[in-house]
């Protein structure tokens, strides 16, 4: 009988449906009985750190729901979810399951994963690393080991790791983000890398604007694993990002009607038009945004 696991994809990755679907497919091809769980009903509460009452309620609800699923292992995708479960949620409310990070699980089963990676992906890549989360899970060593299983992928050796544990925190300090971006692009150029590859989805969301700005190709490592396995989920977020001020046309009227044009223009369009701090403004002039009445 295959191991019954819960794949906890979290809340914030919901913009990247291709990553979620690819992760589930990879786990199932490895032989796991997978129950996906995420979104607001399984929130870790990190967004409510300033409101301890709300965060506590979310922690209790999420741990209880995982316990009720009666699966022996929860596999976390998001580093924030993993950290909160380890340091807070699981301390207050005893979990009836073990916790594994997604990179750890793939690395644990890398011998079974390798034969599934049949299609060459000819890319010389630089892995985008951070310092912070690596003290919990050795992602900076295990993620490149997984990438090296892909035929055609060459991971360059580089010891630079950005501050914090993902780019979302740097983005709140534009000068720090700009410094990291400029240093990273210098490393890409020095290594003559074809692409920058991220581990975390929030880093990918920040940095895929580099591709939209013409600086370098950017991928999440799961996207390259999926490509080598023959999975073909479209990366719609990147296409919207590349479309910039014309993202509405790429998204389509039917989807815009579901979320509302005003919500899209207020909450989504600024993110899609945004390019990383530190990207040369001469090669990436600020686009003009056309709004709908």
d(CA 56, CA 76): 19
> Residue 50 — very low, low, confident or very high, per pLDDT cuts 50/70/90?
low
DSSP label of 115: G
pLDDT at 287 over 70: no
- The answer to whether the Cα torsion of 121, 109, 8, 145 is positive or negative is negative
Contact criterion met (CB below 8 Å) for 123 and 194: yes
pLDDT one-digit tens code per residue, 173-198: 999 999 999 999 999 999 999 999 99
Choosing among 3.40.50.280, 3.40.50.1000, 3.10.310.10, 3.40.640.10, the CATH entry for 4-108 is 3.40.50.280
Q: C-alpha distances in angstroms, 263 versus 98, 152, 250, 260?
A: 39, 42, 16, 5
Cβ–Cβ < 8 Å for 106, 82: no
Q: Does the structure show a pLDDT above 90 at 20?
A: yes
Could you tell me the residue ranges of all domains in the chain? 4-108, 119-293
Condensed to tens digits (0 to 9), the pLDDT of residues 143-170 reads 999 999 999 999 999 999 999 989 988 9
Q: What is the distance between the alpha carbons of residues 162 and 179, in angstroms, rounded to a whole number?
A: 10
Q: What does the mean pLDDT of the chain come to? A: 92
Kindly indicate the confidence band of residue 278, based on its pLDDT and cuts at 50, 70 and 90. confident
């Amino acid at each position: 009988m295959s191991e019954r696991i819960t794949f906890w994809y979290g809340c914030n990755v919901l913009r990247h449906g291709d990553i979620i679907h690819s992760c589930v497919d990879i786990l199932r091809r490895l032989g796991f009985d997978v129950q996906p769980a995420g979104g607001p009903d399984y929130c870790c509460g990190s967004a409510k750190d300033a409101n301890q009452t709300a965060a506590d309620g979310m922690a209790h609800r999420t741990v209880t729901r995982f316990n009720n699923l009666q699966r022996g292992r929860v596999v976390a995708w998001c580093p924030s979810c993993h950290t909160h479960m380890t340091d807070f949620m699981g301390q207050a409310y005893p979990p009836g399951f073990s916790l594994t990070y997604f990179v750890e699980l793939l690395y644990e089963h890398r011998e079974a994963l390798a034969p599934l990676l049949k299609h060459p992906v000819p890319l010389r890549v630089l892995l985008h690393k951070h310092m912070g989360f690596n003290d919990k899970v050795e992602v900076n060593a295990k993620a490149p080991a997984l990438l090296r299983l892909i035929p055609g992928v060459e991971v360059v050796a580089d010891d630079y790791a950005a501050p914090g544990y993902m780019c979302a925190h740097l983005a709140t300090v534009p000068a720090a983000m700009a410094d990291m971006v400029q240093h990273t692009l210098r490393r890409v150029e020095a290594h003559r890398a074809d692409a920058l590859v991220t581990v975390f989805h929030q880093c990918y969301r920040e940095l895929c604007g580099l591709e939209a700005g013409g600086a370098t190709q950017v991928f999440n490592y799961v996207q390259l694993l999926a490509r080598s396995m023959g999975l073909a989920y479209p990366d719609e977020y990147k296409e919207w990002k590349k479309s910039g001020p014309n993202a509405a046309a790429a998204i389509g009227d039917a989807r815009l009607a579901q979320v509302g044009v005003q919500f899209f223009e207020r909450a989504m369009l600024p993110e899609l038009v945004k390019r990383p701090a530190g990207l040369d403004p001469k090669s990436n002039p600020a686009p003009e945004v056309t709004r709908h009445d």
